Amino acid sequence: MFVSFEGIDGSGKTTLSNLVCERLRAAGHPVLHAREKGVLASGVARRVRELTRDARLLEMSARTELFLNLARETQQLDEIVRPALADGRVVIADRSLHSLVALAAAGRGLPRDEVEAAVRVGAGGTWPDLIVLVDVDPDLARLRKRVGKILEGRDGDAESRKGLAGAGLQVRIRRHLRAEAERDPARWIVTSNEGRPLAALADEVAGAILSRVAPRTAFVPPARRGPGSARASAVEAEASPEQVAVRFRAAVAALAAAEPHLAAFLLAGIPGAAEHALRVSLAPRAPRLVARSLHGLADPGAFALRRALAGEAPADVLESLGDEPSAEAMSLRELLLDAAPEAALAGLARNDSPEAWELRARGLERGAIAGVLDGLAGVDDPDAWALRGEGLRRELLVPVARSLAGLAGPRADALRVALADRDRLAALRSTAGVDGPVARELRERLFEHAAKRVLRSLTGIDAPYAWALRERALPATKEALDSVDGMDHPRAWALREAGVELWPTTAVSSLRELALRERGRELVARALRTAPGSLPVLRNAHAAFSGAALALTAPGAALARQEEEACSI
């Protein structure tokens, strides 16, 4: 029997398929996993996969990608799957032929009939007997992927070719897979990985497989919606800050038992005594994510928790400081420099103080030039330019690119041009927070190949071509809204209001300090009505309201409001 697990990135299908394998083996069945623990069994297939994931291959066409993916799966079928089936084994695959069709046709927009014809040739008559669709909200899946990257120590900014297309790709793939499951319910099992322990899902899916391999085995059909799922509860779409806060805190508390790391991640940057108490309760089980959840918080309780976690999670504590220049933050960087030099130095962006340069000097003595470069963003200083030149000579292209964020002018643009000759994505990254002819040329040239990265580089940019790119991208991906974070501009509001039904989670997060305005509250209400069971929407609504309230009480906020009102009269 051939069983494939399908689902969008971050749905949990890899973990679930491995758990199911364990259960089938424990039941005495010979099982082969064609991609156990996420590693393709065929060495040839692994080599082919490297090509399809390489983000540097920007010009790879959708058809080329299809045929490379098909070559990978065909090799798996020929070398691994068919021989195991001939031996009478149950074969489990973490993705197979159905994913190829979903990515090429729904994701990339190739003609479906042509895609299916090509895949039939590659299949050679061998298709999965049973397909398990692990279904999940794409916003929640993306959060889980980010948590996984943190726990595994992977670069959170590193992306595959698929990632460069933007989050809309996964939305289209999910829609396609759900439609396929509805069209052929005899061969598809749909199980929701939201609000339920993964072990319980594994038990149910293993039971479904055993009922077909050994019909006398009792089978309990998998529930499509778990009892703890946010989607299963009838959530009223009320949008007052107080109601949103109560619902969010209850949701995080409920999630904490099954997914403490995700629960902590959802608290990131949200101020408040209740949120602090939740962090403290989660700290023993998820210290690294709790430390990171303090990002952007500078109250005494946040710094006390950072110090409590510094020994166990030094790099995460340092990441939570962002580029905070306060004496307390600088003290922590000095304290933890030896434990996590790269993270300590990366937080010195826009800091040209003697204390910052002393830390940089100590970092260079330890050989941490990449971290020093990461922390030079916004620093226009002769020593900084010398370090950028040295970084370029050493081929530290991404750190050099990060060091240019926020810097405009001929010198910065000359370095961007030099970067573009070696790594176009790094050059694009270097344009964050700046505009000009070089930045515009890079953005317009790379938009078709790396829409997500282009749109992120546009954050805060008010230029006609920038608005045109956002409006063009809005139907396809959420990053069009990410790029207007906090912008109080008529076209930014028009984008939010046009995109709130498509991308409710991002429309809300883009409000930032505008959330408490009447127009902002109306947008939050629309988002909650559009996705009433979405934990990411609820989280972003609470974060936006809390952040806006905190900004209103910050020193100087009252004076700024008076000046704004005077200018508007």
Instruction: Give one DSSP letter per residue of 11-24, joined into a string.
Output: SSHHHHHHHHHHHH
Closest to 400 in 3D by CA, of 410, 447, 422: 422
Burial level of 491, CB count in 10 A (0-12/13-18/19+)?
middle
The alpha-helical segments, DSSP class H, found in 165-240 are 168-183, 198-213
What pLDDT shows up at residue 228? 37
Q: What is the pLDDT of residue 198?
A: 87
If one counts every other C-beta atom within 10 angstroms of the C-beta of residue 222, the result is 19
- Model pLDDT, residue 197: 84
Burial label, 197 (beta-carbon count in 10 A; 0-12, 13-18, 19+): middle
- Positive or negative torsion for Cα 214, 220, 224, 226: negative
Q: What is the pLDDT of residue 161?
A: 85
Q: Does residue 445 contact residue 134 with C-beta atoms inside 8 Å?
A: no
What CA–CA distance (Å, rounded) separates 146 from 4? Answer: 24
From the DSSP assignment, how many helices (H) and strands (E) are in the chain?
Answer: 33, 5
How does 1-34 read in b/e, with b if 16+ C-beta sit within 10 Å?
Answer: bbbbbbbbbbbbbbbbbbbbbebbeeeebebbbb
- Write down the pLDDT at residue 160: 79
Beta-carbon contacts of 208 under 8 Å, excluding residues fewer than 6 positions away, are 130, 132, 189, 219, 221, 222
Supply the pLDDT for residue 507: 98
User: For residue 483, what pLDDT is reported?
Assistant: 96
CA distance 370 to 207: 50
- Supply the pLDDT for residue 554: 64
- Residues 38 and 154: their CA atoms lie apart, in Å, by 15
User: Are 435 and 463 contacting, i.e. CB atoms less than 8 angstroms apart?
Assistant: yes
φ, ψ for residue 134 (rounded to 5)? -90, 105
Please report, in tens digits, the pLDDT of each residue of the chain (569 residues total).
999 999 999 999 999 999 999 999 999 999 999 999 889 999 999 999 999 999 889 889 999 999 999 999 999 999 999 999 999 999 999 999 999 999 999 999 999 999 999 999 999 999 999 999 999 999 999 999 999 999 988 766 667 788 899 999 999 999 999 999 999 999 999 999 987 888 899 999 999 999 887 654 443 444 443 333 344 343 444 679 999 999 999 999 999 998 999 999 999 999 999 999 999 999 999 999 999 999 999 999 999 999 999 999 999 999 999 999 999 999 999 999 999 999 999 999 999 999 999 999 999 999 999 999 999 999 999 999 999 999 999 999 999 999 999 999 999 999 999 999 999 999 999 999 899 999 999 999 999 999 999 999 999 999 999 999 999 999 999 999 999 999 999 999 999 999 999 999 999 999 999 999 999 999 999 999 999 989 999 999 999 999 999 888 765 544 333 333 333 33
Return d(Cα 528, Cα 526) in angstroms, integer. 5
Three-state SS letters, 316-329:
HHHHHCCCCCCHHH
